[in-house]
Amino acid sequence: MRSRPLRLLGAGSLLLTLAFSLESCFTERQNEGAQLYAAHCSSCHGDQGQGLERLIPPVAAADYVAQHRAELPCLIRKGMQGDIVVNGIHYNQIMPGHEDLTDSQITNLLNFVQTNWGNNNQPYTMRETSELLGRCNGSDGQ
Amino acid sequence: MTYPLRRAGLLLAAAGAALSLSLGGCSSAPENPVERLPVLGFKSAEPTSAADTLPDPIPAFRLTNQDRQVITNQTFAGKVYVTDFFFATCPSICPKMQSELLRVYKAFEPNPNVLFLSHTIDPAHDSIPVLRDYAERLGINDASRWHFATAPRDSIFALAKAYMTGAQVDATVPGGYAHSGTFALVDSRRRVRGVYDGMVAAQVDQLIKDIPVLLKEEAEAPQPVAAK
């Protein structure tokens, strides 16, 4: 009977290890996403993701961020232009691409946006981001 | 302690106290806030007299705004205005800069004596319809309060210099133009009275404080109505 608590302890620690290692799959550097947002996005999309009137769409509480989840890695890599609708409002501005970011930086940046400011969406794994970037030939494998 | 030594110590203490008082005077704010803004700018002409030290006024200009109205210095006669330089497709500092200028605009929206003038530095792309679309998307429907203006590029770049803003073609930066996010505050006599970094909220706050100072000066010393 002495082995049962031990087994529980073993299972518990296994779960704990698993939880930690899974978490590290999503993001290793907790603040990198916020820092990348501030450096590369905030000038246009606002320091709280609020956007700018009808010129620049918000990323905070944005339906587009949830609905176009699979397209966002390529959108950041290649930029975009033309009419888009975010939360029912039409926007039409040029967004520059970011060839200077690694796949892992794009992952952390997107995970920051997907889980902050009223967005509560599924984060990306590094592998998933690289796969999604492959669609636009935009993965650097890093 | 002998008498001379004690005396020296007293002297030293007095000197120290005086020094700290005078140093304190360096760092503490003046008791009265600035009642008059400086006159800024460049003086390119030879002074005509010893007293002739004022910088050159903003040169005569002729621009077209988002409503296809011709705007000149006369458009701003009897007004003060805030000006900046941008372009509609600017991917770097413009949205932040224009959102800060929008904050100033909203602070003075009820006051018809405060006008705004944004110059495009990319006139080849920013046609009148593009400027109009940009203004409307920013929420500006009254072109007579905030002009989004265009002119031949050389004229714009010359004006940028007069307003103490850097603007030039630079293929190495995103968007193709290097420019600073400077806001210039201009009085009714075509003089620059303040320059502010539109990317720094604290400086924009200062602009919002300075505009009433300039308006007070304008109201107290009425100028000839025509901006010469």
Q: Which domains does chain B carry?
A: 62-220 (3.40.30.10)
Stretch among A16-20, A46-50, A99-103, B151-155 having the lowest mean pLDDT: A16-20
Q: Is A55–B138 a contact, with Cβ atoms under 8 angstroms apart?
A: yes
Name the DSSP class of A71: G
Only one residue has tokens 């304190």, namely: B24
SS3 of chain B? CCHHHHHHHHHHHHHHHHHHHHHHHHHCCCCCCCCCCCCECCCCCCCCCCCCCCCCCCCCCEEECCCCCEEEHHHHCCCEEEEEEECCCCCCCHHHHHHHHHHHHHHCCCCCCEEEEEEECCCCCCCHHHHHHHHHHHCCCCCCCEEEEECCHHHHHHHHHHCCCCEEECCCCCCCEEECCEEEEECCCCCEEEEEECCCHHHHHHHHHHHHHHHHHHHHCCCCCCCC
pLDDT band of B26, cuts 50, 70, 90: very low
Q: Which two tokens stand for residue B105?
A: 């605009």
Mutation choice for A interface testing from B99, B100, B101 by most A CBs within 10 A: B99
Whether residue B196 has pLDDT greater than 60: yes
Cβ-based contacts of A52 with chain B (< 8 Å): 95, 98-99, 102, 138
Whether residue B140 has pLDDT greater than 70: yes
The per-residue pLDDT for B171 is: 74
Stretch among A84-98, A127-141, B164-178 having the lowest mean pLDDT: B164-178
The per-residue pLDDT for A21 is: 55
Question: For chain B, what's the residue count?
Answer: 228
* Residue A110 near residue A129, CB atoms below 8 Å: yes
- The residue of chain B with its CA nearest to that of A39 is B92
Q: Region B149-156: what's the mean pLDDT?
A: 95
The per-residue pLDDT for A8 is: 65
Query: How close, in Å, is residue B180 to chain A by CA atoms?
Result: 14
Q: Is A55–B91 a contact, with Cβ atoms under 8 angstroms apart?
A: no
pLDDT band of A33, cuts 50, 70, 90: very high
The per-residue pLDDT for B73 is: 96
Cβ-based contacts of B91 with chain A (< 8 Å): 44, 94-96
The per-residue pLDDT for A2 is: 53
Mutation choice for B interface testing from A55, A59, A83, A89 by most B CBs within 10 A: A55
Q: What is the C-alpha separation between B93 and A38, in angstroms, rounded? A: 13
Whether residue B7 has pLDDT greater than 70: no
Q: Which two tokens stand for residue B200?
A: 């720094």
Whether residue B8 has pLDDT greater than 80: no
- The residue of chain B with its CA nearest to that of A91 is B137
Cβ-based contacts of A54 with chain B (< 8 Å): 136-139
B212 Cβ contact partners less than 8 Å away, ≥ 6 residues apart: none
* Residue A82 near residue A121, CB atoms below 8 Å: no
What is the average pLDDT value for chain B, to the nearest integer? 85
On the CB side of B208, CA atoms within 13 Å amount to 17
Classify A49 in phi/psi space as left (phi over 0), alpha (psi -120 to 50) or beta: left
Between residues A42 and A14, the one the model is more confident about: A42
* Residue B93 near residue B167, CB atoms below 8 Å: no
Q: What is the C-alpha separation between A119 and A98, in angstroms, rounded? A: 22
Read off the pLDDT of residues B77-135 as tens digits, 9 standing for 90 and up.
999 999 999 999 887 788 899 999 999 999 999 999 999 999 999 999 999 999 999 99
Nearest neighbour of A53 by CB, restricted to B91, B139, B174: B139
End-to-end CA gap in chain B: 75
Read off the pLDDT of residues B54-75 as tens digits, 9 standing for 90 and up.
899 999 999 999 999 999 999 9
Q: What is the C-alpha separation between B173 and A24, in angstroms, rounded? A: 36
Q: Which two tokens stand for residue A108?
A: 């952390």
Query: How close, in Å, is residue A8 to chain B by CA atoms?
Result: 55
pTM of the model: 0.77
Q: Region A125-134: what's the mean pLDDT?
A: 96
End-to-end CA gap in chain A: 50
Those residues of chain B whose CB sits closer than 8 Å to some CB in chain A are 89, 91-93, 95-96, 98-99, 102, 134, 136-139, 174-175
Q: Does domain A31-134 have CATH number 3.30.420.10?
A: no
Whether residue B3 has pLDDT greater than 80: no
The per-residue pLDDT for B92 is: 74
